[in-house]
């Protein structure tokens, strides 16, 4: 049986921490350099589900009473300037990206796995006040979610 600490792939988790922190600090060069490693490290299958979960949880954390589509739209508009430092997108694209983590938009699926993961990493970095503490707060839930949904690290 896999212990909770073995459920999250260490290399994937470290990658997520690094790219989200780079997005948070608007370090476009570091983000690009780290993200380039995604294919080399063959982490795409692990990283994307982690980021979908983490973005959804951070959105709920930011709006615990009721997460409405209007609140998501406002958040998308507020992070648009920072997001545009990485990629030229419209606020509606960010809005649809954020909706996609809840299955309410096909936007993410239409990007392909690597681009979807990149967009989510940028979004998470921009909606986090403190990346380290936010990721630490969400890690136990991610472990449970991975166990429940079959995203368990290959042994």
Residue 7 has pLDDT above 80, yes or no: no
| Inter-CA distances, 84 with 79, 90, 128, Å | 9, 8, 17
In 10 A of CB 57, how many CB atoms? 18
Q: Convert the pLDDT of each residue in 87-142 to its tens digit.
A: 999 999 999 999 999 999 999 888 888 889 999 999 999 999 999 999 999 999 99
For residue 149, with 0-12 CB atoms within 10 Å meaning exposed, 13-18 middle and 19 or more buried, which class applies?
exposed
pLDDT attached to residue 43 = 66
pLDDT attached to residue 113 = 83
Residue 35 has pLDDT above 80, yes or no: yes
pLDDT attached to residue 66 = 83
Q: Which two tokens stand for residue 110?
A: 């239409």
* 3-state SS, residue 4: helix
Q: Which two tokens stand for residue 136?
A: 């630490």
pLDDT attached to residue 4 = 46
């Amino acid at each position: 049986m896999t212990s909770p600490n073995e459920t999250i792939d260490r290399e994937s988790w470290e990658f997520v921490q690094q790219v989200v922190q780079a997005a948070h600090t608007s370090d476009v060069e570091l983000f690009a350099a780290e993200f380039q490693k995604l294919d080399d490290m063959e982490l795409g299958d692990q990283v994307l589900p982690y980021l979908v979960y983490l973005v959804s949880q951070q959105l709920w954390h930011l709006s615990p009473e009721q997460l409405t589509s209007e609140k998501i739209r406002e958040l998308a508009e507020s992070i648009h300037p920072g997001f545009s430092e990485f990629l030229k997108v419209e606020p509606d694209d960010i809005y649809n990206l954020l909706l996609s983590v809840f299955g309410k938009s096909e936007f993410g699926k239409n990007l392909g796995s690597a681009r979807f993961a990149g967009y989510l990493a940028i979004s998470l970095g921009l909606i986090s006040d403190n990346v380290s503490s936010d990721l630490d707060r969400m890690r136990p839930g991610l472990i449970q979610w991975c166990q429940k949904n079959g995203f368990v690290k290959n042994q």
